[in-house]
């Protein structure tokens, strides 16, 4: 992909909002957007277009925007890729029609088509005239009686007929006589031990024994060291207030420690973060407050100076 820096006008106002001026015969459409952030300088809070890169294949341009994210405290770069398309010219005049080509050779004969449908049956012709009745012939002589034929063979056995229906249930027979007693079986195995019974009731408490003799007094221990005398001086420190990013800090003077704090959220904002800040030695040296919405927040810290 061939890429080069594109000379293109950028209109930027005080708030660092920039607009692209695209050539009159081109149009731009956003294809993709990608943002990459890393820990950066908190002074870079304005939205700045660093450079515009144009690509010829395919026609596109990439706008690289650098800005500071107040919520994550990171410097970010946003890559917006725009596709470019030039304007299309009007169509040209249609050329003249070319001469007709030479006639092609005769193609092969086509396949024989299917047989046509059978036509309808013709009408029935008229009935012919009845012919004249012929003469009655003479009666023939009676022939002799034939011999009796032999007896025919026995035919095959017929198929078995279907099974008949089940007959009705017969009457119950008389009760039989009682049989003799059986022999005594062997003795069974011994069963398992039974479950242990509940614990018995606790017996009464025994008689209290006689009181022992009083032991000798112990040796008096050494006197402990005198503890430090502490005088505490406290003061309330207010932050400068914040709007837009809604995060403010109130820092204690040098030598003071933060023992408490909080914040005030303005308007319809709500305070959803309030916690102490820590110095390099891990001691609380101030208070941080953060609100929701865009109505601002002010942090305060209760600072105490301890001397001994």
Q: Following DSSP, what letter does each residue of 208-235 receive, concatenated?
A: PPPPPPPPPPPPPPPPPPPPPP-EEEEE
Q: How many CB atoms lie within 10 A of CB 245?
A: 16
Average pLDDT over residues 84-104: 61
Question: What is the reported pLDDT for 48?
Answer: 58
My answer on whether omega of the bond before 58 falls inside 30° of 0, hence cis, is yes
29-33, 86-90, 230-234: least confident range: 86-90
At 301, the pLDDT band (50, 70, 90 cuts) reads: very high
Higher pLDDT, 162 or 53: 162
Each residue of 236-289: pLDDT tens digit?
999 988 876 688 999 999 889 999 999 988 877 788 889 999 988 889 999 999
Higher pLDDT, 195 or 217: 217
Residue 146 has pLDDT above 80, yes or no: yes
43-52, 73-82, 175-184: least confident range: 43-52
Question: What is the reported pLDDT for 262?
Answer: 94
Each residue of 96-133: pLDDT tens digit?
776 777 777 887 887 887 887 887 887 888 888 888 88
Question: What is the reported pLDDT for 9?
Answer: 34
Question: What is the reported pLDDT for 42?
Answer: 53
Burial grade of 197 (CB within 10 A; 0-12, 13-18, 19 or more): exposed
Residues 6+ apart with CB under 8 A from 157: none
Question: What is the reported pLDDT for 77?
Answer: 85
Instruction: Give CA separation, 40 vs 6, 68, 80, 277, in Å.
Output: 28, 8, 21, 21
Q: Among 72-76, 103-107, 221-225, 300-304, which range has the highest average pLDDT?
A: 300-304
Residues 6+ apart with CB under 8 A from 37: 69, 72, 74, 75, 76, 77
Residue 8 has pLDDT above 50, yes or no: no
Question: How far apart (Å, rounded) are the C-alpha atoms in residues 303 and 284?
Answer: 9
Question: What is the reported pLDDT for 275?
Answer: 95
Sheet with 74-86, edge to edge strand ranges: 3-5, 48-56, 59-69, 74-86, 26-39
- With a pLDDT cut of 90, the percent of the chain lying above it is 12
The token duo for 237 is 């420190």
> 86 near 95, Cβ under 8 Å?
no
Summary mean pLDDT of the chain: 77
Higher pLDDT, 15 or 106: 106
Segment 281-285 long-range contacts (CB within 8 Å, at least 24 positions apart): 283/257, 284/257, 284/258, 284/259, 285/251, 285/252, 285/256, 285/257, 285/258
How many C-alpha atoms does 115 have within 13 Å on its Cβ side?
Answer: 3
The token duo for 150 is 């032999």
Higher pLDDT, 35 or 205: 35
- With a pLDDT cut of 70, the percent of the chain lying above it is 78
Question: What is the reported pLDDT for 252?
Answer: 94
> 272 near 253, Cβ under 8 Å?
no
């Amino acid at each position: 992909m061939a890429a080069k820096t594109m000379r293109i006008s950028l209109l930027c106002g005080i708030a660092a909002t920039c607009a692209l001026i695209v050539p009159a015969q081109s149009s731009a459409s956003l294809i993709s957007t990608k943002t990459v952030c890393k820990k950066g300088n908190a002074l870079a809070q304005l939205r700045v277009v660093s450079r515009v890169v144009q690509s010829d294949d395919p026609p596109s341009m990439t706008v690289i925007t650098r800005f500071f994210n107040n919520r994550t405290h990171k410097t970010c770069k946003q890559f917006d890729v725009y596709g470019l398309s030039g304007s299309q010219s009007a169509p040209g005049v249609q050329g003249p029609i070319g001469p007709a080509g030479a006639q092609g050779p005769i193609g092969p004969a086509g396949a024989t088509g299917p047989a046509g449908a059978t036509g309808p049956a013709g009408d029935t012709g008229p009935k012919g005239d009845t012919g004249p009745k012929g003469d009655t012939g003479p009666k023939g002589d009676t022939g002799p009686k034939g011999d009796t034929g032999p007896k025919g063979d026995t035919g095959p056995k017929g198929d078995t007929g279907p099974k008949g229906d089940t007959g009705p249930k017969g009457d119950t027979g008389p009760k039989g006589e009682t049989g003799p007693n059986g022999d005594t079986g062997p003795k069974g195995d011994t069963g398992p031990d039974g479950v242990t019974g509940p614990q018995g009731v606790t017996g009464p408490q025994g008689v209290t024994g006689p009181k022992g003799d009083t032991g000798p007094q112990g040796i008096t221990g050494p006197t402990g060291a005198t503890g430090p005398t502490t005088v505490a001086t406290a003061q309330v420190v207010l932050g400068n207030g914040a709007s837009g990013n809604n995060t403010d800090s109130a820092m204690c003077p040098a030598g003071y420690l933060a023992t408490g704090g909080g914040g005030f959220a303005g308007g319809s904002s709500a305070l959803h973060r309030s916690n102490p800040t820590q110095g390099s030695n891990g001691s609380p040296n101030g208070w941080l407050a953060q609100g929701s919405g865009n109505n601002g927040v002010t942090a305060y810290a209760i600072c105490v100076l301890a001397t001994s």
